[in-house]
């Protein structure tokens, strides 16, 4: 997924692949700083090739802990 983002950004903006990679890295880092921890770690797994459904399940399970709920 990460490489796909880099390729699209490069193609649509005319950036070199290296510039596009750096821009994607900056955006991902910014998102990870702003998102709750379960979502931030899910973003890493998703960008590494994880499925959206699996990441949503993991994120919602983790968010339950943020709000004092558990999945028992």
Determine the structural domain holding residue 70 and report its residue range: 36-72
What pLDDT was estimated at residue 10? 97
CA distance 42 to 50: 9
Give yes or no: residues 40 and 71 share one domain.
yes
pLDDT tens-digit series, residues 26-70 = 999 999 999 998 888 888 888 888 776 766 676 677 666 556 655
Lowest mean pLDDT among 10-14, 17-21, 23-27, 48-52: 48-52
Give yes or no: residues 23 and 54 share one domain.
no
Q: Is the pLDDT of residue 8 over 90?
A: yes
Structural tokens at position 28? 């991902």
What pLDDT was estimated at residue 55? 61
CA distance 65 to 71: 9
Give yes or no: residues 30 and 40 share one domain.
no
Give yes or no: residues 42 and 62 share one domain.
yes
C-alpha neighbours within 13 Å on the C-beta side of residue 21: 4
CA distance 25 to 6: 9
Give yes or no: residues 66 and 46 share one domain.
yes
Q: Is the pLDDT of residue 71 over 70?
A: no
């Amino acid at each position: 997924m990460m490489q796909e983002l880099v390729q699209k950004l490069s193609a649509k903006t005319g950036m070199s692949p290296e510039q596009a990679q750096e821009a994607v890295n900056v955006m991902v880092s910014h998102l990870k700083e702003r998102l709750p921890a379960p979502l931030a770690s899910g973003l890493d797994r998703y960008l590494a090739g994880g499925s959206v459904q699996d990441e949503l399940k993991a994120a919602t399970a983790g968010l339950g802990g943020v709000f004092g709920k558990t999945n028992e």
